[in-house]
């Protein structure tokens, strides 16, 4: 009887001890969420640079430049793609902490295919440094690992049905803005537009102080007179918004295309330099009344890019000499 009482007392004391330890233990999960597993930056306006390095050597260096971003210091980045990345950085949140069994698979995979992410503020100070790994089986969570640590975390974006890796995974060319016009319209001294097979439509635009003058490119075309400033400004606005369908700098047909007769040649002449943009038509096989004879163009921006563009997007650039005089 006494032994039973003693056993009950021991069990009661043990239960009290366990309860005390449980109710007074430090909330480790909260500490982890606030420190090691915090991969988000809520104030994205302070971010000035993001470097994404892939295991194959590909590197995307995104830098804020005024009201837009640049990719690798050369090209304007597509704003919608930048915004998608920044939304992830702003909201990516801890979903769960992988256990040891899961870590044994996560870390080797991250060593092979992890994307190194370095984020800096506007002054160049490092804000975050981490790796982005693979996604969970349901593709809703993504594994993240802080630089210099060995504990990965599974993150997700609340309200978004999908993994976070895809927005970090883009290659440099995929970050580029498809708007390709890189000219300073205000500083162009002369713009020459030449239609090799339709010479009568070719023209030149001269910048004369605060106004413009439009003249035929060839002397065989009758010269016209009239107010052209508004139409020239409208034309330059159209050129500034030209957007390609894709960049094709490695296209095997590039050399043969450049040997063919173009539809349009455009030269932008400055005081100290010249740029050239050329459009080569891609004929539509068996065109009908519902499909134009030319639906796309190869576009060569000399010394810069070889691209593919759709006729419906490009057609605003295909103005004739008569257009500037309201004809």
- Three-state DSSP class for residue 289: coil
Do 218 and 297 sit in the same domain of this protein?
yes
Is 315 in contact with 292 (CB distance < 8 Å)? no
- pLDDT above 90 covers a percentage of the chain that reads 78
Do 305 and 239 sit in the same domain of this protein?
yes
Helices (H), the chain: 2-24, 28-34, 79-91, 100-113, 165-168, 172-175, 229-240, 254-258, 311-314
Do 46 and 74 sit in the same domain of this protein?
yes
Does 16 fall in a domain? no
Do 197 and 99 sit in the same domain of this protein?
no
| CB contact burial 261-275 (16+ within 10 A = b; e otherwise) | ebbbbbbbbeeeeeb
Is 316 in contact with 238 (CB distance < 8 Å)? yes
Domain that holds residue 313: 185-325
Last residue of a domain, one of 154, 175, 196: 175
The continuous run of DSSP H or E covering 161 comes out as none
Last residue of a domain, one of 114, 140, 175: 175
Does 18 fall in a domain? no
Does 304 fall in a domain? yes
Does 66 fall in a domain? yes
Do 52 and 151 sit in the same domain of this protein?
yes
Residues in the chain where the model's pLDDT stays below 50: 1, 18-33
Do 146 and 111 sit in the same domain of this protein?
yes
Last residue of a domain, one of 175, 200, 223: 175
d(CA 85, CA 62): 11
Q: What is the pLDDT of residue 162?
A: 86
Write down the pTM of the prediction: 0.73
Domain count for the chain: 2
Does 4 fall in a domain? no
Is 215 in contact with 206 (CB distance < 8 Å)? yes
Do 213 and 246 sit in the same domain of this protein?
yes
Do 170 and 193 sit in the same domain of this protein?
no
Do 135 and 162 sit in the same domain of this protein?
yes
Do 133 and 203 sit in the same domain of this protein?
no
d(CA 45, CA 60): 20
Q: What is the pLDDT of residue 26?
A: 37
The two structure tokens encoding residue 314: 């490009």
Rg (CA), the chain: 30
Q: What is the pLDDT of residue 11?
A: 56
Does 117 fall in a domain? yes
Q: What is the pLDDT of residue 101?
A: 92
Do 190 and 261 sit in the same domain of this protein?
yes
Is 189 in contact with 177 (CB distance < 8 Å)? no
Does 296 fall in a domain? yes
Q: What is the pLDDT of residue 326?
A: 84
Do 212 and 300 sit in the same domain of this protein?
yes
The two structure tokens encoding residue 65: 């430049």
Does 9 fall in a domain? no
């Amino acid at each position: 009887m006494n032994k039973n009482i003693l056993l009950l007392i021991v069990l009661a004391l043990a239960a009290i001890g366990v309860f005390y330890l449980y109710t007074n233990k430090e909330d480790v999960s909260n500490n982890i969420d606030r420190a090691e597993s915090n991969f988000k930056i809520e104030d994205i306006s302070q971010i000035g640079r993001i470097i994404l390095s892939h295991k194959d050597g590909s590197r995307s260096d995104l830098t804020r430049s005024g009201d837009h971003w640049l990719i690798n210091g050369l090209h304007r980045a597509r704003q919608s793609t930048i915004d998608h990345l920044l939304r992830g950085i702003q909201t990516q949140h801890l979903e769960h902490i992988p256990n040891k069994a899961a870590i044994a698979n996560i870390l080797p995979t991250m060593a092979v295919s992890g994307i190194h992410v370095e984020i800096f503020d506007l002054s160049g100070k490092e804000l975050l440094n981490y790796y982005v790994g693979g996604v969970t089986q349901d593709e809703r969570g993504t594994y993240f690992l802080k630089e210099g640590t060995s504990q990965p975390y599974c993150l997700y974006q609340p309200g978004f049905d999908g993994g976070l890796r895809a927005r970090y995974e883009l290659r440099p060319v995929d970050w580029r803005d498809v708007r390709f016009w890189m000219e300073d319209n205000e500083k162009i001294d002369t713009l020459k537009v030449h239609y090799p097979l339709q010479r009568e439509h070719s023209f030149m635009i001269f910048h004369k102080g605060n106004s413009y003058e439009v003249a035929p490119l060839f002397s065989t075309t009758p010269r016209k007179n009239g107010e052209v400033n508004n139409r020239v400004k409208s034309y330059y606005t159209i050129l500034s918004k030209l957007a390609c369908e894709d960049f094709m700098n490695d296209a095997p047909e590039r050399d043969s295309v450049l040997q063919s007769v173009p539809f349009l040649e455009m030269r932008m002449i400055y005081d100290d330099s010249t740029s050239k943009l050329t459009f080569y038509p891609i004929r539509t096989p068996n065109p009908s009344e519902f499909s134009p004879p030319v639906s796309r163009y190869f576009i060569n921006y000399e010394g810069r890019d070889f691209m593919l563009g759709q006729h419906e997007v490009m057609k605003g650039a295909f103005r004739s000499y008569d257009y500037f005089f309201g004809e």
